[in-house]
Amino acid sequence: MSLSRSPSPVLGGGWASPGLNLPSSGRSSPSKGNTGSNGTPVMWESARMKNTGASGYPSFSTNNQGFISKHMRRISSSLPRFNANQYVEKDKTPGGRWSVQNVPLLGRLRGIMARMGRKMKIRLLLVLLFIVSMIIFFNSPLLYYWRRASWLGGGEKFVIILAANVGGGVMEWKGAREWAIERDSVKNKKKYAATWGYNLEIIDMSTKKRYAHEWRESWEKVDFIRTSFRKYPKAEWIWWLDLNTFVMEPSYSLQEHIFNQLGKNTYRDINEYNPLNISHPVTDGYLDESSKSPVGDGNQKSINLVLSQDCSGFNLGSFFVRRSTWTDRLLDVWWDPVAYEQKHMEWEHKEQDALEQLYIAQPWIRKHTAFLPQRKVNSFPTGACGDHGYDPKFHYNSKDRDFLVNMAGCEWGRDCWGEMYNFRELSYYLNRSLWERFKEDLVAAVWLKLTGQKVKL
């Protein structure tokens, strides 16, 4: 018969469980009840060992009474206690997402780049290279050379001649206002020429005695044009400007504004606007068909002289001449001292009246001449060209952003310096950058309301 429990190895019998060997039991076998002789529940040895944490080898068990255990309990009791109800992870938001506030920007960028695919990285690199190259291009001399090259922007094909009139007039020297006008006008033309890569020739229109018996003030522009063609052999067009002119829109290039579509921007039939009542076209029988035609041969490549007309006729404050054999002939005839000797007392506007006479008398000049609407390249202030107020045919309009204003005749009863100053400030106001608009329209306005003082930023 097998025993349900292992017999005690102790001599005299008994059970391994101590509760079964009590002297009061008087028995060598377990009692039927579950309580001891004193009425307390029987504690089995296996349960006791689990509660005490014994390893099954009582001889080596310390029951958590060793030196190390005691000191470990002291150290652990001195540490701050953990409160699970008040603990929140600092790296997570209440919604459970990780917070990026403590993550450095470089780390975030690295994380974004790590999640990108190879193709996306290549595309992003190409975009960055393009942006950097554009910034370098538009903020370096490369832009100037690009616009100036004849096979790219074509800027070197144009020469701007500015009549500076450094010595004053024929009989008088310039005062402070005249010097201020010249300074602003020269600065304006230098900036415009540098923007688009054009050649700028500032000439001294001081009266010089070309011949022993004459003073040709303003007639010398003909001679200076011829000299400039020799000085700039790559130049195709020369743009003459009087001193009392101001480029209002420096963002307009001559190519885009006029010459890329010269045929559409000009008219060759003077009957479209004919303040001089010139009979046109000429109908003499000995002339060829292009000379008899009101528009010449109709080809824009045959246009060699471009000018505008004001209320009195031809205006040479702003006009263009193209390099050609025809132009050489025109300049020779125009500068002819015989014509000057015979007519200079009758021609009030000097070289301007001389050109009008040549246009009327010489059919070969008409078929190579074209006219621009005046406000295209030679707008007038409101006070010029009549006393009837604003005329949309002649006078400058800021809403239409006219290209250039010519203060012609300001020395006769008008304030040249006042007009130059007003147009200079208006040009700056119309062409401000976004940053300048932000400073002046917002920051300066807020400062004025807060302090009552005007400030120029």
**How far is Cα 230 from Cα 266, in angstroms, rounded to an integer?**
27
The pLDDT value recorded for residue 112 is 83
CA angle 190, 196, 200 (to 5 degrees): 40
**How far is Cα 111 from Cα 40, in angstroms, rounded to an integer?**
68
Nearest to 280 by CA among 200, 356, 390, 183: 356
The pLDDT value recorded for residue 156 is 93
The pLDDT value recorded for residue 28 is 47
Distances (CA, A) of 261 to 62, 148, 286: 107, 20, 33
**Residue 317 · residue 378 · CB < 8 Å:** yes
**Residue 282 · residue 363 · CB < 8 Å:** yes
Nearest to 252 by CA among 395, 150, 133, 379: 379
- Could you give the residue ranges of the DSSP H alpha helices within 66-159? 67-78, 105-115, 118-138, 142-148
**Residue 56 · residue 62 · CB < 8 Å:** no
The count of other CB atoms within 10 Å of the CB of residue 358 is 18
**How far is Cα 414 from Cα 384, in angstroms, rounded to an integer?**
9
The DSSP code sequence of 246-264 is EES-TT--HHHHTGGGHHH
The pLDDT value recorded for residue 278 is 93
285-309 burial string, b = 16+ CB within 10 Å, else e? eeeeebbebeebbeeeebbbbbbbb
Token pair, residue 442, equals: 């917002």
From first to last of the 457 residues of the chain, give the pLDDT tens digit.
Answer: 444 445 555 555 555 555 555 554 444 444 444 455 455 555 555 555 555 544 444 544 455 556 666 666 666 666 666 555 554 555 555 555 555 567 788 888 888 888 888 888 888 889 989 988 888 877 778 888 888 888 888 899 999 999 886 555 444 566 788 888 999 999 999 999 999 999 999 987 765 555 445 556 667 888 899 999 999 999 999 999 999 999 999 999 999 999 999 999 999 999 999 999 999 998 888 888 888 899 999 899 999 999 999 988 999 999 999 999 999 999 999 887 666 666 766 777 778 888 998 999 999 999 999 999 999 999 999 988 877 788 899 999 999 999 999 999 888 888 999 999 999 999 999 999 888 888 888 888 888 888 888 877 6
**Residue 197 · residue 148 · CB < 8 Å:** yes
**Residue 132 · residue 211 · CB < 8 Å:** no
The pLDDT value recorded for residue 60 is 47
The pLDDT value recorded for residue 252 is 96
The pLDDT value recorded for residue 170 is 44
Torsions phi, psi for 238 (to 5 deg): -115, 130
**Residue 182 · residue 165 · CB < 8 Å:** yes
Q: Within the chain, what is the greatest distance between any pair of CA atoms?
A: 168
The pLDDT value recorded for residue 451 is 87
**How far is Cα 253 from Cα 248, in angstroms, rounded to an integer?**
12
Distances (CA, A) of 3 to 7, 46, 79, 219, 353: 8, 18, 53, 145, 147
The pLDDT value recorded for residue 211 is 47
**How far is Cα 193 from Cα 114, in angstroms, rounded to an integer?**
49
**Tokens 């005249």 map to which residue?**
178
Token pair, residue 394, equals: 């002649």
Nearest to 161 by CA among 306, 318, 307: 318
